[in-house]
Structure formats: structure tokens, C-alpha cells
């Protein structure tokens, strides 16, 4: 039928994270008092100096198209940031492309490197959009299930088991959504050797780079020996700078790939919003204390949530190393799967979480709880979970008796 969407959409799932966002909004509109630990949207407002810069730009008539690659000042700031923070060397003139969101940078990167039928390796559990982006462009996502018992470690053996002659690229996300893992030098070494040996491109999603705990530092794959000329680094402002609503991100990498990626931007969005880019310059070149302060607060929230989760019967949670999600093992709670656990929690405690199954193989048996929300909300969620768990135990005892 000609009135139908393209056949490849048959395999594309809607976004599981947006499904939870939308469900929470619907329930709240009906008056339900839902505590939302579902989505990863910081409760912090964007820093004042960033807002002031964008508002000033708007007031000053900075309301036109910009060069499609991005404002020269932002390209410079990104190139400097990558060199200083990450040890990644890219020229502002031809190694960076600014995009409306990291999500669009990822999509543009995948469109740039994948032909229909090409395979994209995605270690899972993984953020919900990678596999579906690949499917949207007719490529084949190949999931590489990581083992929770092994700390969701990426190993050469696992990658080797899933590589094929059609493997074009490997997508790595660190710090990781949903597991909270951050890449070790050993894993990076294994990835680099694998990529060189099999001539595979690397796409690295570093959006949670600024949110790391316990003194850890971020490792960028493009800075690992052997990787620079085969890596597209994707990053953005949503998480570290609390700028989700601004939609601002970038891709950086080899100039020939960036020249092709630029065509995707030119033919889809043209350029990123002018005043938003001005805010981005302020975020990168202005004071970084707001970023550090938010991360310190996430660390305290992490401790509060993880402690509370571990005191619930049948739940166990290791502290995440980065990002703002607790990935809790709920296999001991007696529920059939993570979706039934999440449904029960929403019904009985009015607490919204993401079932681990939404993040692909390796995620079943876990639920993801976002702590990009205030300690007060986290305490309420934990109280409610504790009460629901106690009621359930009472109910089970009564049934037996
Ligand atoms: N990557 C990961 C792992 C994410 O969790 C998100 C959050 N939506 C993104 C990319 C996209 O970020 P944004 O599009 O808001 O820049
Ligand atoms: N990254 C966030 C999350 O995983 C926001 C939603 C999305 O873009 O998928 O909840």
C-alpha cells in the first residue's frame, strides 16, 4: 500500500524513555501524584551566565541562520575543550560540526557511516535510541550483551563473538546510560585493538562525561592510540550543563567524515539555532563551577538513592561510577521480569522507573532509576517503595496464612 510508511519502520520501536515521559505527564494531568525517576532530565536550571548570553543574543537581533557547521566561536571553543579536557585533537575549521542535540549528532554520524545492511555493534544494556537510529536508516544493529555479573565490562571476546564482514562501526557510551559504568583503560585498549584489527569505525557518546564520581576521570576513545583517525566523538550540553531543552550538541572527528556529516546537517536542519549556539559558547568558556556543583549534588543523591535501594527486600544496587542513573538488580524481588516490577511500582507506589528490558539484552532483571531529581523527591520515592514492598510482603504472608 502506497499510503503506508516505509517498510523499515516495521522494525523501529518508539522511544521507551519518551513513553515513560508521556505516561507520567498523562497520569499527572489526571491528578495522579507520580514521583518520576524515569527520564534523564536534570532538575537544575541552566546556569545564569549561559541564559544571559542567549537572551542577550536574541535581544541583540542574533536571530538568523548561522554557518551550517556552527558559529566559529563555538567551533573554536569545542576544539579547545576537546584538546584540554579530553586529549582529542581536532581542528575547529574542519574537525567539528555543531548539531541541534547530541541525539542529532549521533543520528548524523550513523547516517554518515552506515550503508543499508551494514552492521552496527552496540554493547548492551544501552540507551534506547542507538539501535532504533540504525534501523531508521536501514542498517542492522547487532547487540553485544554485556554481563551484569562481570560489571557490564566490554571485552575483546564479546566483541569478537559479534563481529562479521558487515560490521562497519562500534558505538560506545561512557559514562554509560543506563549502567553507570565508565570505561577503563583496559576496556579502551581492547576496543582500540579490535577496531584496528577489524577496520571498524568507533562512534563514542560522551554526553555524561562531566558526571563522574569518586575522583574518576573521563577517558575519550579518540585519545587512545590508534583511534583518532577512526573515531567520531559525540558530545553535548544537555547533561553536564543542564541544557536539555536547548538541543545543542556536536560531532568531532576526521575531516573527511566531518565533511560528509556536514551534508547531513545542511540537508536536514541547515544549522543549529543561532542564540542557542551563543549559549553554548558561554557554557564552554565561562565559569565551570555550576557544572562541578551539580556533579557534587548528583554524588550526594547517588549515595542517598543507592543506600535506600539496597535496604529494599530483594533489591541490590552497586553505586554507579558516572551519569545519573542507578541500575538496580531486582531479580530477588520475585517479579517475573523488570517490566512487571516497574508496572507494580507505578501502580502501588506511584513511582515511575525504566524497566531494564528497555535497554536491550543484559538489561532484563534490572530497573533504571534517575537521580537527576531532588533529594526530597528521592526520599519520597524510597519511602513509597519501602511501603509498597512491606505491603506486598504482608499480602504474601496473609495469602499463605
Ligand atoms: N546519549 C545518551 C546516552 C543519552 O542518555 C542522551 C539523553 N537523551 C543523549 C545521548 C542525547 O542527548 P541530547 O540529545 O539531549 O543532547
Ligand atoms: N537520555 C534521557 C534518558 O535516557 C532522555 C530521554 C531520551 O532522550 O531518550 O532518559
110-127 pLDDT tens trace: 999 999 999 999 999 999
User: Considering only CA atoms, which residue is closest to atom 8 of ligand 2?
Assistant: 17
How far apart, in whole angstroms, are the C-alpha atoms of residue 135 and residue 116? 9
Position 2 scores a pLDDT of: 86
CA of 103 to the centre of ligand 1 (A): 6
Distance of CA 338 to the CA centre of its chain: 20
pLDDT above 80 (res 401): no
* 175 Cα to the center of ligand 1, angstroms: 12
Alpha-carbon distance of 30 to 54, in angstroms, equals 35
pLDDT of residue 127: 97
Residues near 1 by Cβ (< 8 Å), separated by ≥ 6?
Answer: none
Atom of ligand 2 nearest to the CA of 20: 10
- The answer, yes or no, to whether any atom of ligand 1 lies below 6 A from the CB of 370, is no
What mean pLDDT, rounded, does the chain reach? 96
Q: Is pLDDT at 188 greater than 80 in this prediction?
A: yes
Encode pLDDT of 67-84 as tens digits.
999 999 999 999 999 999
Residue 399: its pLDDT value, please?
A: 82
Neighbours of 270 (CB within 10 A): 11
**Averaged pLDDT, 252-274:** 98
Is 303 in contact with 180 (CB distance < 8 Å)? no
pLDDT at 20 over 80: yes
Residue pair 315/330 in contact by the 8 Å Cβ criterion: yes
At 394, is the pLDDT very low, low, confident or very high (cuts 50, 70, 90)?
confident
pLDDT per residue as tens digits for the range 148-172: 999 999 999 999 999 999 999 999 9
Ligand 1 near 40 CB (within 6 A): yes
| pLDDT one-digit tens code per residue, 284-302 | 999 999 999 999 999 999 9
pLDDT band at residue 396 under the 50/70/90 scheme: confident
Q: What is the pLDDT of residue 173?
A: 98
Per-residue model confidence as pLDDT tens digits over 325-376: 999 999 999 999 999 999 999 999 999 999 999 999 999 999 999 999 999 9
Selection from 172, 123, 168 nearest residue 143 by Cα: 123
Establish whether residue 125 lines the binding site of ligand 1, counting it when its CB lies within 6 angstroms of any ligand atom: no
Distance CA 309, CA 226 (A): 41
What is the structure's pLDDT at 340? 95
Pocket test for ligand 2, best of 22, 24, 39, 132 (most atoms within 8 A of CB): 39
The DSSP secondary structure of 227-242, one letter per residue, reads: TGGGEEEEEESTTTTT
Cβ neighbours of residue 265 closer than 8 Å, sequence gap 6 or more = 68, 69, 97, 99, 104, 108, 271
Mean pLDDT of 14-32: 93
Q: Note the ligand closest to the C-alpha atom of 129.
A: 2
pLDDT of residue 398: 82
Residues in Cβ contact with 347 at an 8 Å cutoff, skipping those fewer than 6 apart: none
φ, ψ dihedrals at 362, nearest 5°: 100, -15
> What is the pLDDT averaged over residues 27-37?
95
What pLDDT, on a 0 to 100 scale, did the predictor assign at position 367?
Answer: 97
- Going from the Cα of 255 to the center of ligand 2, the distance in angstroms, rounded, reads 29
* Residue bearing cell 536550571: 45
Which residues in 146-256 belong to E strands, given as ranges?
167-173, 201-205, 231-236, 249-252
Is 94 a residue whose pLDDT tops 90?
yes
Q: Which ligand is nearest to the CA of 354?
A: 2
Does position 1 have pLDDT exceeding 80, yes or no? Answer: no
- Which among 148, 153, 144, 172 has a CA at the least distance from the CA of 328? 148
How far from the centroid of its chain's Cα atoms is residue 388's Cα? Answer: 30
Q: What distance lies between CA 123 and its chain's CA centroid?
A: 13
CA of residue 364 to ligand 2 center, whole Å: 18
Starting at the earlier edge strand, list the strands of the sheet with 325-329.
Answer: 325-329, 366-370, 354-355
> Residue 130 C-alpha to ligand 1 middle, in angstroms?
10
Q: Which atom of ligand 2 is nearest to the CA of 15?
A: 9
For residues 299 and 10, what is the distance between their CA atoms, to the nearest angstrom? 41
Q: Is 99 in the pocket of ligand 1 (CB under 6 A)?
A: no
* pLDDT over 80 (residue 189): yes
Ligand at shortest distance from the CA of 101: 1
User: What is the number of H-type helices and E-type strands within the chain?
Assistant: 12, 12
* Atom number in ligand 1 closest to CA 102: 16
Closest CA to 342 of 333, 332, 331, 351: 351
- Please check whether residue 318 is in contact with residue 148, taking contact to mean a CB–CB distance below 8 angstroms: no
Which residue puts its alpha carbon closest to atom 7 of ligand 2?
A: 17
Amino acid at each position: 500500500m502506497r499510503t503506508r510508511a516505509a517498510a523499515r519502520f516495521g522494525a523501529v520501536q518508539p522511544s521507551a524513555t519518551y513513553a515513560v515521559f508521556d505516561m507520567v505527564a498523562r497520569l499527572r494531568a489526571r491528578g495522579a501524584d507520580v514521583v518520576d525517576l524515569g527520564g534523564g532530565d536534570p532538575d537544575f536550571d541552566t546556569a545564569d551566565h549561559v541564559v544571559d548570553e542567549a537572551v542577550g543574543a536574541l535581544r541583540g537581533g542574533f536571530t538568523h541562520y548561522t554557518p551550517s557547521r556552527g558559529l566559529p566561536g563555538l567551533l573554536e571553543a569545542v576544539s579547545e575543550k576537546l584538546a584540554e579536557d579530553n586529549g582529542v585533537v581536532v581542528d575547529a575549521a574542519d574537525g567539528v560540526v555543531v548539531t541541534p542535540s547530541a541525539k542529532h549528532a549521533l543520528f548524523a554520524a550513523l547516517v554518515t557511516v552506515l550503508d543499508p545492511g551494514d552492521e552496527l555493534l552496540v554493547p548492551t544494556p544501552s540507551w534506547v535510541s542507538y539501535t532504533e537510529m540504525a534501523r531508521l536508516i536501514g542498517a542492522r544493529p547487532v547487540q553485544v550483551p554485556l554481563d551484569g555479573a562481570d560489571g557490564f565490562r566490554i571485552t575483546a571476546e564479546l566483541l569478537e563473538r559479534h563481529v562479521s564482514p558487515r560490521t562497519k562501526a562500534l558505538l560506545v557510551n561512557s559514562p554509560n546510560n543506563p549502567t553507570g559504568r565508565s570505561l577503563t583503560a583496559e576496556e579502551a585498549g581492547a576496543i582500540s585493538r579490535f577496531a584496528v584489527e577489524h577496520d571498524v569505525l568507533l562512534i563514542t557518546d560522551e554526553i555524561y562525561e562531566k558526571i563522574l564520581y569518586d575522583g574518576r576521570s573521563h577517558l575519550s576513545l579518540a585519545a587512545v592510540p590508534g583511534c583518532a583517525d577512526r573515531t567520531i566523538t559525540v558530545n553535548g550540553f544537555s547533561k553536564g550543563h543542564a541544557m536539555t531543552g536547548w538541543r545543542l550538541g556536536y560531532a568531532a572527528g576526521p575531516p573527511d567524515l566531518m565533511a560528509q556529516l556536514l551534508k547531513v546537517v545542511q540537508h536536514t536542519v541547515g544549522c543549529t539555532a543561532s542564540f542557542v549556539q551563543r549559549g553554548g559558547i558561554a557554557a564552554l568558556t565561562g565559569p565551570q563551577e555550576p557544572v562541578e556543583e551539580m556533579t557534587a549534588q548528583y554524588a550526594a543523591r547517588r549515595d542517598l538513592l543507592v543506600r535506600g535501594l539496597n535496604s529494599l527486600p530483594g533489591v541490590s544496587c552497586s553505586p554507579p561510577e558516572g551519569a545519573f542513573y542507578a541500575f538496580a538488580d531486582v531479580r530477588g524481588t520475585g517479579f517475573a521480569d523488570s517490566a512487571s516490577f516497574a508496572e507494580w511500582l507505578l501502580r502501588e507506589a506511584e513511582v515511575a522507573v525504566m524497566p531494564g528490558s528497555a535497554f536491550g539484552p543484559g538489561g532484563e532483571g534490572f530497573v533504571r532509576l534517575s537521580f537527576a531529581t531532588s533529594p526530597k523527591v528521592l526520599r519520597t520515592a524510597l519511602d513509597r517503595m519501602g511501603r509498597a514492598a512491606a505491603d506486598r510482603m504482608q499480602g504474601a504472608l496473609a495469602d499463605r496464612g
